[in-house]
C-alpha cells in the first residue's frame, strides 16, 4: 500500500521531489501545503468508531452528512460538527459524483481528536496536487474544493492509495475544556469575533398572561427605541415580526405559552426597521400564581450570550439529588419531542450515550405482537433498516430476546440473535423490552463494536430507563395510529370519489398509479389481464421522478410478470430488484472492460442503469386486483434501495386495490358495452351516400342522448334501378334502443320493397303492415319517401309520399319557399291506408329540404322554431350548395335555444346543380 504522509506525523522524504515517482510527488506536494503542521504524534488509541458505505447517487451526500452529524453528536463533539460535515460533504461528493463509485466512510474517535476517512474505489483518479495551494482547486470549480477545504480547516489531512481504493482523510482536534465546562467553542482571531456595541445589551421583557407587555427594561429602550410607557400594556405581537418556521405551526402566541422557547425573530424598532433578535423565553408564575413569560433578547449576531448548547448531557437534565424530577424528563430531556419519530430518535440517542455505546436501536411491536418493526436507530445505517420487520418468537431471523432483558457478550458466538445487527460490525449488545401493563410494546437495544462491553448492571440501568419511557412511547404510537387511520379514511374517501368519477379505462389506470405515488410508494406498476386465458400485461408505470419511468418500464418488460394469485394481501416480489441488480452489474463490468467488449460504447448507459437499480432496489410488493371473483390485474408497489413498507401502508394499499379493481372492471364493462352498442347503432345507418349525376346531396344527423349514435330518426338514399334513386327520412315515436329497433326495420324494409319495383304508396303500405305485426313492440312512424329521376335537361323529377311527416320545403332560385307535398296519415296506427304519391320537378338551382320534427320543434321556453321559422331560415340560403344549406339550417337550430337538444334531428338537403 502506498500511503500519503500524515502532515506532522513523520519527517519528510530525504530524496528531492523530482526524484520521486509521480504519485509520491503529488503526496509530497500535499504535505508541503497542509495546515497546522506540528511534531505531535497522531493518537494511537481509538475509543470509538462508526462506519457506513454510500451508493454512487446524489442523495448519498446528504445521507453521509447526516451520518457524520449523528455520530459526532452522539460522541458529544458538537464543537467540531460543522467543520466535519462540510469536509465530509465535499469528499463524499468527489467519490459518489465525480469518481462515480461507492464511498466508504469511517469515523474514528481518539482521545484528543476525531479522524474521518472517505474512501472511493477509483484509485486511478489521482489527487490533483501541484505546486501550490492556489492550484489545488478553485471555489468556483466542481473539483478540488474538498482538498482545499481540508488544507484550510483540518488539523491534519492526507491521502492513501491501495490497488483498489483511494482514501482521503482529515483530522479535527478537540478543543481543550476545563473541568466542568458545559459548552465551549474554539479560540478565534479577533477579526472573526462578532461585532457588538460599547457593551452587549440584553433586553428583558415580561409578558403577562394576556400577551401584553408588563415590563420593559433600559436595554430594551436602547435596542428598540421605545420608552417603557409607550409599550407597556401593548401586545408583544404588535412589535414582533414573527417568521414562518418550515415544518412547524408555532406562532408567537403559542411560543409565549410554552414552558421554554429559544430562537430567532424580529422586533420592529421605533424607526420602522425590523431588528433581528435572538430570544430566550421562560414561563414563570408571579407571587399571585398568575403565569407570565420572561423574554431575554439580544441582537441576532450576539446570540452566543443566550444560545443554549446544541447537546445537553443526560446527567445534566435534572437536579443532582433527583428530588422532584420527572424520571421521563431526566432520561429524555425537557422539552420532550411532541412527535413519535422525534421521541424515538431522542430515546435511542440517550440510551446510546447512557451506556457509552456505538449504536442503539428501538423496535415497536405490531398489533398482534408477533413482529417487531424498526422505527429508530443511531450509529447504524438507519435508512436500510427503517420499517424492516423481524419475527419475535418463530420463523427465520427471529428476534429471540424481545420479551426479557438480554445481554450478548459476543454476537459472533450467537449469530443471528439480534438480526438488526447482522453485518454491522457490532459485537456486544444489551436489549430490554418496553412493556405497558405487562404487554410487549417494543424493544430497546444498545450495541458496541467490542466484545464483553455490557453486563447485567447495564441491562438493569437500560431496563429502568425503558420502564420510564414505555408509556410515553405507547401513547405517542397510539396517537400516530389514530392520525394514520383518520388520514387513511380521508384518502380512501377521496380515492373512491375519483375512481367513481370516470368510466374510462385508461384514466382509471392513471388514477390508480397517481393515488399511490408518492403517497404510498415511490413507484407503481399496474398489470391488467384481459381474460382468464390471457397473460398479465404491463399497462401503466409511474415513478415520483419522471426521468426514471422509462427505465423501470423497460426493466419490467424484460421480466416475467407476477403470478395472478387471487389471495388477498400484499406479497413480496423480488424479481424487479434482482433483475435491476444484475443489469447494473453487467453494465459496470462492461464499462470496466471485464467482459471483453469495448468500454466506451457502454459507459454512457451506466448512469441510467444504476439509477433504475437504485429506484427498484428496495422492497416490492404485489396486490391482486380482484373484481367479481376474478383476478383482472395486479397492483405493484415499490421502494428504492434498502427501504421497506410499513404494515399500515400495506393495509391501506390493500383497501385501495379493492376499490381500484372494481372501478377498473366497471370501466372495462362500460367500454365493452359501449363498443357493442356503437357497433349495432352504426349498422342502422346507411353505409355511405351514392353519387347522383347533377344532384348535390348532404345529410346531417344528431342523435339525442349521451353515447347514442342512432335514435328514432333515420334517413336513407339508395339506387333503385334505371337511374332512379330512392330517398327517405323518418321519425319513430320516442328515442333510445326501442325506437332504434323500429328504425332498422323501416330502413331495411324500404330498400327491399323499393327494389321489388313497387310504387311509393305500395312500399309504405307494406311497411305499415310490418310495423303493426310487431305487436306490443310496434311504434308509429312518420315517413317521407320519394323516388328521384334526374332528367336529360338538367332537372330532376320526384315522386313523393309524406306519411304524417313534416312537409318537405322547396327553395327556388328566386328565394321563394313552398311545401313540396301534401300531408297524409302516418304509419303504424291503422291497418288500411289510402296513400298517394305526388310528382314535382326540381329545376336547376332548386333545393329540396327534408327534416324531422326535432328541427321544427326546437324550443326555447315557450318559443318554438316551427315550420314558419324553418322556412324563414331556408329563404336566406339562395345560391348555396346543398352542404352549405344543411349547415346553415343546423346552426340556426342550435342557436335557437341554449339547452342541449332533447330530440333526434335529421336534415336531408338535395340541390339540382
**Rounded Cα distance, 642 and 617, in Å:** 7
**606 neighbors 587 (Cβ within 8 angstroms):** yes
According to the model, what pLDDT value does residue 186 have? 58
**Residue 869's pLDDT band (cuts 50, 70, 90):** very high
- Say which range, 2-11, 170-179, 685-694, has the weakest mean pLDDT: 2-11
DSSP 8-state code for residue 861: T
The mean-pLDDT minimum among 50-59, 843-852, 854-863 falls in 50-59
Q: 240-244, 586-590, 859-863 — which is least confidently predicted?
A: 240-244
Confidence bin at 622 (pLDDT 50/70/90): very high
Residues 6+ apart with CB under 8 A from 496: 659
- pLDDT band per the 50, 70, 90 thresholds, residue 479: confident
- 207 grid coordinates: 409578558
Which ranges of 558-646 would DSSP assign to H, the alpha helix? 575-591, 606-615
Exposed / middle / buried, residue 44 (Cβ in 10 Å: 0-12, 13-18, 19+)? exposed
Q: How confident is the model at residue 215 (pLDDT cuts 50, 70, 90)?
A: very high
CB 103 within 8 A of CB 92: yes
- Indicate the pLDDT class of residue 728, thresholds 50, 70 and 90: very high
Show contacts of 869-874: CB within 8 Å, 24+ apart: 869/896, 870/809, 871/809, 871/817, 874/809, 874/811, 874/817, 874/847, 874/849
Distance between CA atoms of residues 441 and 438, nearest Å: 9
Q: Which residues of 49-84 are buried (b: 16+ CB within 10 A; e: fewer)?
A: bbbbebbbbeebbebbbebbbbbbbbbebbbbbebb
Above 80 in pLDDT, residue 15? no
Residue 30 reports pLDDT greater than 60 = no
Round to whole Å and give the CA distance between 870 and 905: 13
**H helix and E strand count, the chain:** 21, 35
Q: Which residue has the higher pLDDT, 166 or 614?
A: 166
| Res 586 pLDDT > 90 | no
The length of the chain is: 913
Among 603-617, 750-764, 770-784, the minimum mean pLDDT is found in 603-617
Question: What is the structure's pLDDT at 219?
Answer: 92
Q: Which residue has the cell 305485426?
A: 773
Residue 373 has pLDDT above 80, yes or no: yes
Of 22-31, 50-59, 388-397, 841-850, the poorest mean pLDDT is in 22-31
Query: 35 falls in which pLDDT band (50, 70, 90)?
Result: very low
Q: Which of 32-46, 306-320, 589-603, 867-881 reaches the highest mean pLDDT? A: 867-881
Around 248, how many Cα atoms within 13 Å sit in the side-chain half-sphere?
Answer: 12
Q: Which of 730, 739, 737 is nearest to 712 (CA)?
A: 739
Q: Using DSSP, state whether 787 is helix, strand or coil.
A: strand
Q: Is 25's pLDDT higher than 90? A: no
Higher pLDDT, 621 or 484: 621
For range 520-529, the mean pLDDT: 90
Pick from 73-82, 92-101, 350-359, 803-812 the range whose average pLDDT is largest. 803-812
Give me the percent of the chain exceeding a pLDDT of 70. Answer: 79
Mean pLDDT value of segment 838-850: 94
Contact between 806 and 867 (Cβ < 8 Å): yes
Q: What angle do CA 37, 43, 46 make, to 5 degrees?
A: 140
More confident residue, 269 or 400: 269
| Predicted pLDDT of residue 93 | 84
Asked if residues 330 and 350 have their Cβ atoms less than 8 Å apart, the reply is: no
Cβ neighbors of 882 (< 8 A, separation 6 or more) are 696, 697, 698, 847, 909, 910, 911
Average pLDDT over the chain, rounded to an integer: 79
pLDDT at residue 636, rounded to an integer: 92
Phi and psi, residue 836, nearest 5°: -140, 160
Higher confidence at residue 542 or residue 395? 542
Task: Please tell me which residue, 475 or 612, carries the higher pLDDT value.
Answer: 475
Per-residue pLDDT tens over the stretch 132-175: 444 444 444 444 566 777 888 888 998 888 877 888 999 998 87
pLDDT band for 469, please (50, 70, 90 cuts): confident
699 — pLDDT class (breaks 50, 70, 90) = very high
**Cβ neighbours for 389, distance < 8 A, ≥ 6 positions apart:** 366, 371, 372, 373, 374, 644, 647
Cis amide leading into 25 (omega within 30): no
pLDDT of residue 327: 52
601 versus 878: the higher-pLDDT residue is 878
How sure is the predictor about 177, in pLDDT bands with cuts at 50, 70 and 90? Answer: low
Q: Give the separation between CA 50 and CA 67, rounded to whole angstroms.
A: 9
384's CB contacts (< 8 A; 6+ apart) are 642
Backbone angles phi, psi at 198, to 5 degrees: -55, -30
CA distances to 59, 94, 451, 584, 602 from 609, in Å:
16, 21, 41, 6, 11
52 pLDDT exceeds 70? Answer: yes
pLDDT of residue 710: 61
pLDDT value at residue 606: 59
Q: Using an 8 Å Cβ cutoff, are 232 and 215 in contact?
A: yes
pLDDT at 398 over 80: no
Quote the cell numbers at residue 698. Answer: 348532404
Q: What is the mean pLDDT of residues 358-368?
A: 83
DSSP string, 356-379: T-SEEEEEEE-TTSSEEEEEEEES
pLDDT for 724 equals 92
Secondary element (H or E) of residue 60: helix 59-75
Q: What is the mean pLDDT of residues 558-579?
A: 86
Q: Which of 178-187, 654-663, 693-702, 813-822 has the lowest mean pLDDT?
A: 178-187
100 confidence band (pLDDT: 50, 70, 90): confident
Least trusted range by pLDDT, from 363-372, 505-514, 658-667, 758-767: 363-372
Which residue has 526524484 as its cell numbers?
Answer: 19
The verdict on whether omega for the bond into residue 519 sits within 30 degrees of 0, i.e. cis, is no
- Split at pLDDT 50, 70, 90, the class of 604 is very low
- Higher pLDDT: 58 or 457? It is 457
The one-character DSSP state at 185 is -
Per-residue pLDDT band at 555 (split at 50, 70, 90): confident
What was the pLDDT predicted at 707?
Answer: 56
- Residue pair 381/52 in contact (Cβ under 8 Å)? The answer is yes
What pLDDT shows up at residue 700? 92
How far out from the chain centre does Cα 800 lie? 67
Per DSSP, 12 falls in state: P
State residue 811's pLDDT score.
95
How confident is residue 248, by pLDDT bands cut at 50, 70 and 90?
very low
Looking at per-residue pLDDT, the higher value among 865 and 610 belongs to 865
185 vs 262: which has the higher pLDDT: 262
CB 425 within 8 A of CB 457: no
Residue 371 above 90 pLDDT?
A: no
Q: Taking Cα atoms as reference points, which of 725, 716, 710, 788 lies closest to residue 755?
A: 725
Bridge partners for 714 per DSSP: 730
Rounded Cα distance, 679 and 672, in Å: 11
For residue 328, name the pLDDT band (cuts at 50, 70, 90): low
* Residue 350 confidence class, pLDDT cut points 50, 70, 90: confident
What does the pLDDT read at residue 50?
A: 85
Cβ contacts of 481 within 8 Å, gap of 6 or more: 648
Amino acid at each position: 500500500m502506498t500511503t500519503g504522509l500524515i502532515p506532522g506525523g513523520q519527517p519528510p522524504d530525504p530524496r528531492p521531489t523530482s526524484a520521486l515517482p509521480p504519485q509520491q510527488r503529488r503526496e509530497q506536494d500535499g504535505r508541503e501545503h497542509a495546515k497546522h503542521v506540528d511534531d505531535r504524534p497522531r493518537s494511537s488509541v481509538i475509543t470509538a468508531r462508526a462506519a457506513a458505505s454510500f451508493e454512487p447517487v446524489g442523495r448519498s451526500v446528504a445521507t453521509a452528512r447526516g451520518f457524520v452529524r449523528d455520530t459526532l453528536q452522539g460522541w458529544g463533539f458538537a464543537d467540531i460538527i460543522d467543520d466535519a460535515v462540510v469536509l465530509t460533504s465535499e469528499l463524499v461528493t468527489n467519490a459518489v459524483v465525480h469518481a462515480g463509485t461507492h464511498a466508504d466512510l469511517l469515523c474514528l474517535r481518539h482521545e484528543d481528536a476525531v479522524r474521518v476517512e472517505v474512501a472511493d474505489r477509483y484509485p486511478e483518479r489521482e489527487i490533483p496536487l501541484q505546486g501550490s495551494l492556489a492550484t489545488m482547486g478553485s471555489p468556483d470549480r466542481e473539483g478540488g474544493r474538498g482538498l482545499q477545504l481540508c488544507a484550510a480547516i483540518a488539523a491534519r489531512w492526507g491521502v492513501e492509495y491501495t490497488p483498489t481504493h483511494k482514501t482521503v482523510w482529515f483530522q479535527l482536534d478537540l478543543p481543550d475544556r476545563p473541568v466542568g465546562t458545559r459548552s465551549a467553542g474554539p479560540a478565534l482571531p479577533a477579526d472573526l469575533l462578532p461585532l457588538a456595541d460599547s457593551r452587549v445589551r440584553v433586553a428583558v421583557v415580561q409578558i403577562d398572561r394576556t400577551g401584553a407587555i408588563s415590563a420593559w427594561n433600559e436595554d430594551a429602550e436602547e435596542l428598540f427605541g421605545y420608552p417603557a410607557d409607550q409599550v407597556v400594556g401593548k401586545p408583544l405581537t404588535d412589535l414582533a415580526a414573527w417568521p414562518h418556521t418550515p415544518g412547524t405551526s408555532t406562532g408567537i402566541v403559542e411560543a409565549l405559552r410554552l414552558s421554554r422557547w429559544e430562537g430567532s425573530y424580529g422586533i420592529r424598532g421605533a424607526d420602522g426597521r425590523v431588528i433581528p433578535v435572538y430570544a430566550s423565553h421562560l414561563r414563570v408564575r408571579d407571587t399571585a400564581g398568575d403565569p407570565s413569560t420572561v423574554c431575554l433578547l439580544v441582537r441576532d449576531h450576539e446570540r452566543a450570550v443566550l444560545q443554549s448548547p446544541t447537546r445537553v448531557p443526560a446527567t445534566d437534565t435534572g437536579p443532582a439529588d433527583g428530588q422532584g424530577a420527572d424520571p421521563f424528563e431526566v432520561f429524555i430531556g425537557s422539552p420532550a419531542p411532541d412527535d413519535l419519530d422525534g421521541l424515538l430518535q431522542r430515546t435511542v440517542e440517550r440510551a446510546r450515550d447512557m451506556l457509552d455505546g456505538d449504536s442503539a436501536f428501538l423496535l415497536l411491536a405490531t398489533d398482534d405482537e408477533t413482529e417487531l418493526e424498526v422505527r429508530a436507530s443511531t450509529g447504524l445505517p438507519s435508512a436500510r433498516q427503517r420499517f424492516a420487520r423481524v419475527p419475535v418468537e418463530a420463523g427465520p431471523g427471529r428476534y429471540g430476546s424481545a420479551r426479557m432483558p438480554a445481554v450478548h457478550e459476543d454476537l459472533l458466538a450467537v449469530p443471528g440473535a439480534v438480526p438488526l445487527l447482522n453485518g454491522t460490525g457490532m459485537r456486544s449488545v444489551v436489549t430490554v423490552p418496553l412493556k405497558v401493563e405487562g404487554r410487549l410494546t417494543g424493544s430497546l437495544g444498545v450495541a458496541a463494536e467490542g466484545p464483553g462491553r455490557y453486563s447485567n448492571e447495564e441491562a438493569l440501568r437500560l431496563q429502568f430507563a425503558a420502564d420510564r419511557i414505555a408509556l410515553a412511547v405507547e401513547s405517542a404510537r397510539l396517537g400516530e395510529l389514530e392520525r394514520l387511520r383518520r388520514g387513511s379514511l380521508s384518502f380512501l374517501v377521496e380515492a373512491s370519489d375519483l375512481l367513481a368519477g370516470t368510466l374510462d379505462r385508461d384514466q382509471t389506470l392513471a388514477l390508480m398509479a397517481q393515488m399511490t405515488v408518492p403517497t404510498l410508494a415511490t413507484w407503481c406498476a399496474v398489470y391488467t389481464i384481459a381474460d382468464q386465458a390471457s397473460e398479465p400485461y404491463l399497462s401503466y408505470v409511474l415513478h415520483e421522478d419522471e426521468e426514471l419511468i422509462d427505465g423501470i418500464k423497460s426493466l419490467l418488460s424484460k421480466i416475467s410478470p407476477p403470478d395472478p394469485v387471487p389471495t388477498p394481501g400484499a406479497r413480496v416480489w423480488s424479481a424487479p430488484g434482482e433483475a435491476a441488480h444484475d443489469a447494473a452489474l453487467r453494465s459496470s463490468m462492461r464499462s470496466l472492460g471485464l467482459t471483453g467488449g469495448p468500454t466506451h460504447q457502454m459507459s454512457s448507459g451506466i448512469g441510467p442503469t444504476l439509477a433504475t437499480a437504485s429506484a427498484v432496489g428496495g422492497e416490492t410488493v404485489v396486490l391482486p386486483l380482484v373484481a367479481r371473483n376474478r383476478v383482472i390485474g395486479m397492483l405493484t408497489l415499490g421502494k428504492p434501495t434498502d427501504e421497506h413498507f410499513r404494515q399500515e401502508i400495506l393495509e391501506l394499499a390493500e383497501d385501495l386495490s379493492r376499490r381500484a379493481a372494481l372501478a377498473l372492471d366497471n370501466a372495462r364493462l362500460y367500454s365493452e358495452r359501449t363498443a357493442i352498442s356503437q357497433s349495432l347503432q352504426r349498422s342502422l345507418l346507411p353505409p355511405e351516400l351514392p353519387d347522383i349525376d347533377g344532384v348535390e346531396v348532404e345529410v346531417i344527423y344528431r342523435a339525442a342522448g349521451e353515447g347514442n349514435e342512432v335514435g328514432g330518426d333515420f334517413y336513407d338514399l339508395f339506387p333503385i334501378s334505371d337511374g332512379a334513386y330512392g330517398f327517405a327520412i323518418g321519425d319513430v315515436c320516442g328515442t333510445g334502443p326501442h325506437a332504434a329497433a323500429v328504425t332498422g326495420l323501416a330502413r331495411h324494409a324500404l330498400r327491399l320493397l323499393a327494389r321489388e319495383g313497387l310504387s311509393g304508396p305500395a312500399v309504405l303500405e307494406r311497411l305499415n303492415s310490418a310495423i303493426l305485426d310487431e305487436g306490443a313492440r310496434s311504434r308509429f312512424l312518420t315517413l317521407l319517401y320519394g323516388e328521384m329521376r334526374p332528367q336529360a335537361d338538367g332537372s330532376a323529377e320526384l315522386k313523393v309520399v309524406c306519411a304524417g311527416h313534416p312537409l318537405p320545403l322547396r327553395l327556388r332560385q328566386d328565394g321563394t319557399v313552398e311545401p313540396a307535398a301534401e300531408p297524409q296519415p302516418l304509419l303504424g296506427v291503422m291497418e288500411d291506408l289510402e296513400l298517394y304519391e305526388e310528382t314535382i320537378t326540381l329545376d336547376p338551382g332548386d333545393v329540396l329540404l327534408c327534416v324531422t320534427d326535432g328541427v321544427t320543434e326546437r324550443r326555447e321556453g315557450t318559443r318554438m322554431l316551427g315550420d314558419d321559422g324553418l322556412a324563414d331560415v331556408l329563404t336566406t340560403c339562395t345560391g348555396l350548395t346543398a352542404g352549405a344549406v344543411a349547415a346553415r339550417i343546423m346552426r340556426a337550430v342550435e342557436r335557437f335555444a341554449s339547452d342541449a337538444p332533447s330530440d333526434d334531428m335529421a336534415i336531408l338537403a338535395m340541390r339540382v346543380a
